[in-house]
Each structure stands twice: as C-alpha cells, then as structure tokens.
Amino acid sequence: MGDMGDWTVDQGRASDLEESWLAEDQEAWEKRSILFLDDCPTRCHWAQKHLKPYGRFTASRTAANCILWIGQRAHDEVYLDHDLDGEAWANPHGKNTGFEVVRWIVLNKPEIGKIIVHSMNTPQGNRMAKALRRHGYDAEYRSWMTIVGEAD
C-alpha cells in the first residue's frame, strides 16, 4: 500500500483486500460501495475527498487489483480509468488498462450498480462504456474534467 497522507491507495496486494476506508457516516457506508480505479495519485486523492463521504470508498491503482475488489463484493458505483501505469493513450489490449477490467466484468458478470468511465482518453473511454452497455451494465463515459466540474 502506498501512503498518501491521511489515506491509503491500493497498489495491487490482494492480502490488503480488507483495508478500505469507511465514510464517517456508518449508515452511508452500509448502503453504498464505491470503487475508484486510477493510477494518478492526484485524481485518487480528489476522489477520496469527494466520494468517500457517500459510502465505503476504495481506490485501486492497477487493473489486476481492481478486478480483485470487484470480485469481492457488489459495488454501487465503479469509476474506471483507461490509461494506467502513467501511460497516456495506452494500448487497449494491454494487461494494465481499464479495458482489462471491462473484459473481466463482461466475462464474470459481477453485480455493479453504475459504472462511470472517467478516462482522459476519450476514444477508449467511450469504447469501454459502450462495451459495458452492450452487456447490460448501466455505464457512461464522462471526461475527468466534467466530473471535477460537477463536484466543485
């Protein structure tokens, strides 16, 4: 786990699955589970600040560990980035991309309420959301700047 001040970001160790941050409001935690995939510490920190108050919040920085989290429990909201490992315009066929998570979701059909693809890579973000919708998921692509603008 990588320390980011007052919270911890998951960096891919399955043994740490039990470590996620709970909202201050226990009732909100019991009602909602939010999973956020992004490799950028700044965006993870922003999401923690803005999403954690609404439920059980977990941030993951790798596709593999995001898949582990999705397989552990149902999630009300899942936010997916496409380009991971600090890459811009990553190969969508790579193993550490948001599209790898989408492939796993499509094959395994976990329970997810809403999926928001927030990648700055618009072509791949749209492709991810479309693939998820085609398989029955409530999914949409929203640019990162749109999400930030809505919260502030």
- Rounded to two decimals, what is the model's pTM? 0.77
Q: What pLDDT shows up at residue 1?
A: 37
SS (HEC) of 79-144: EECCECCCCCCCCCCCCCEHHHHHHHHHHHCCCEEEEEECCCCHHHHHHHHHHHHHCCCCEEECCH
Contact 133, 101 (CB under 8 A): no
Q: How far apart are CA 147 and CA 64, in angstroms?
A: 24
pLDDT at 23: 43
**pLDDT value, residue 96:** 80
Q: Using N-to-C axis directions, what is the helix angle for 122-134 and 98-108, rounded to 10°?
A: 0
> Could you report the per-residue pLDDT of 15-64, keeping only the tens digit for each?
333 344 444 455 655 668 899 999 888 888 888 888 887 778 899 999 99
pLDDT recorded at residue 12: 43
How far apart CA 71 and CA 138 sit, in angstroms, is: 18
pLDDT, tens only, 68-118: 999 998 999 999 998 886 555 555 566 788 899 999 999 999 999 999 999
Question: 71-97 burial by CB neighbour count: b if 16+ within 10 A, else e?
Answer: ebeebbbbbbbbbbeeeeebebeeebb
For residue 139, give Cα distances in angstroms to 47, 55, 98, 135.
Answer: 18, 19, 13, 10
pLDDT-derived band at 11 (thresholds 50, 70, 90) equals very low
**Distance of alpha carbon 127 from alpha carbon 117, whole angstroms:** 10
Count other Cβ atoms within 10 Å, centred on residue 59.
29
Q: Give the residue with greater pLDDT, 29 vs 67.
A: 67
Inform me whether the pLDDT recorded for 9 exceeds 50: no
Amino acid 28: pLDDT: 54
